[in-house]
Amino acid sequence: MLTSRPAMLALATVLLFTSPQAPAQEPQSEDIEAARSELLKRWGVDGLAKPAEAESKAKALLDRPLAEQPDDQLLALAKQANAAANFVGFILEEYQQYHRDNFRYDFVQEKVAPFHDAYVELSNRLKSYRNQAYFNLGKKAAGRGDEMTAFFYFRDAYRLSSFTEDKGDHKGLRYQAEVEMKRLLGLESMGTFIYWK
């Protein structure tokens, strides 16, 4: 194939005056940097929340009678337990993804499940401390006659707790928080879902 002289000259000129392209970066690497930066902005303020410390503080505080649980300590506990649960969740996310990607392979699931389940249990315990702290703050606010504050603390405990309770009489924190909200609203005669079985 013969190319005309003007076409060759135009091609040479274009090649000569176009700057060489920088090596292409993976778009994912930019996303990783941006995501890390956002996470550091959000979570880096108060330091790393250690699950064992959060659990220890929660047990010590929540084992006391309600009157001996200062509001500021309950708020600090809720924040610390929530942060610790979120940090555990960052690890758990990868196990959950691997679990979803390989759900058809029983032998993989059997090997991964104990690790996955341990993170789920720890995360759920931490969240239960947070939820209990909110519930207790609601009880204390209600005791002071601050119904509006009480209602919204109960709402936090209600919306953040699991919908059903598998243990005992199935009247877990969500149930208890709903009962307290209904009491504040004068809706005690309305029923409350307990358990699907």
Q: How far is Cα 190 from Cα 173, in angstroms, rounded to an integer?
A: 18
> Which token pair is 30?
């930019």
% the chain with pLDDT above 90: 51
End-to-end Cα spacing for the chain: 80
Q: What is the mean pLDDT of residues 176-189?
A: 93
Confidence tier at 4 by pLDDT (50, 70, 90): low
pTM for the model stands at 0.77
Interior/surface letters 57-79, b for 16+ CB within 10 angstroms, e for the rest: bbeebbeeeeeebeeeebeebbe
- The predicted structure's pLDDT at residue 5: 56
Other C-beta atoms lying within 10 Å of the C-beta of residue 139: 18
**Cβ atoms 55, 129 nearer than 8 A:** yes
- The predicted structure's pLDDT at residue 140: 98
Query: Is the per-residue pLDDT at 126 higher than 60?
Result: yes
Confidence tier at 29 by pLDDT (50, 70, 90): low
Query: Is the per-residue pLDDT at 8 higher than 60?
Result: no
Q: Report the candidate in 86, 172, 66, 68 with the shortest Cα–Cα distance to residue 127.
A: 86
Q: Higher confidence at residue 104 or residue 133?
A: 133
% the chain with pLDDT above 70: 79
- The predicted structure's pLDDT at residue 95: 86
Q: pLDDT tens digit string along 48-104? A: 899 999 999 999 999 999 999 999 999 999 999 999 999 999 999 988 888 778 877
> Which token pair is 112?
């991964």
Q: Which residue is listed with tokens 């928080």?
A: 177
